[in-house]
A = this chain, B = another copy of it.
Amino acid sequence: MSATVYLVGIGPGQAELVTPEALKAIGKVSVVIGQPECLLLVEALTRGKEVIAERQSPLGRSRLAVEKAQAGQDVAIISSGDPGVYAIAATFLEYLKDNNITLDVKVVPGVGLAGYAAARLGAPLGNDSAAITLTDQGTPWPVIRKRLEAAASADFVIVIYNPFGKLGPSRLQEALKIIAEYRTAQTLVGVLSKAATPDEQVQITTLGEVNVLALPVDTLLIIGNSQSYARDGRMVTPRLYREGVGY
């Protein structure tokens, strides 16, 4: 038995942002596992394969994949965005460790949600940034709070994933309040909601005006640094280059 588990990122959702490497990995396996909405996106590629929709948890997907791989079948677990960023890669490898399992694993990177959001907004990630998820089921809230303070005080652009955590808007409201202790009310906030769906919304607003209660659950926020600005409907964080200075 030497089956391989592929942890495959398919990007934010459009076929046009799925890489050939992801397609190739899916092509190689006999079993494809993923959340139902993720599997829908690659439906055309999975005909004739065993397809397992697993809605409950990334641990559940990991367990299923290990069972199939240990039975000798190559498996792909499909992840939207990039599997390495708040997604299946860490969870799966952690599952292997916790259960003392060694397997052949390949991580196939994808276009991540932050990169996609940045492209839709303009170029808000042009300078140093911090990524923080408000899903506080894994990381204790005091640790998240400290990270928000550190990122805000050092003038990082801040990407906020899973803004509503499991508690609804209160976490995001608190997070924005922490950031506002270090930034002006005019600080730009880029918002991407329902990425890569027909209902996708892109919005550039400010820390003083962002309406948290009006945001869908499926939202990512990019809080600008002190230099970020908007022009022609785009949010930009400059790199402060001078003539003759390269990367």
A positions within 8 Å CB-CB of B: 9, 11, 14-21, 24, 56-59, 82-87, 89-94, 96-97, 102, 105, 107-112, 115-116, 118-120, 122-133, 135, 137-139, 143-144, 146-147, 149-151, 153-156, 162, 229, 231-232, 234, 236-247
Contact = CB atoms under 8 A, between A and B. Distances in A.
B137 A128 contact: no
**Could you say how many copies of this chain the assembly holds?**
2
Contacts of A24: 16
B119 A143 contact: no
Contact of A246 (B57, B85, B240): B57
A115 B246 contact: no
A30 to B, nearest CB: 21
Contacts of A11: 19
A244 B139 CA distance: 15
Contacts of A82: 111, 115, 118-119
A5 to B, nearest CB: 13
A123 B241 contact: no
19 contacts: A16-B19, A17-B20, A18-B20, A19-B111, A57-B243, A59-B241, A84-B126, A86-B239, A90-B126, A90-B238, A94-B241, A96-B232, A97-B229, A107-B122, A109-B118, A111-B111, A129-B131, A137-B245, A143-B154
Nearest to A87: B247
A26 to B, nearest CB: 13
Given A58-B241, A138-B245, A109 B115 contact: yes
Given A11-B19, A90-B237, A91-B126, 15 more contacts: A16-B19, A18-B19, A19-B111, A57-B241, A57-B244, A82-B119, A89-B122, A97-B236, A107-B119, A135-B247, A138-B240, A138-B245, A139-B240, A146-B154, A151-B154
Contacts of A9: 115
B154 A57 contact: no
A115 B85 contact: yes
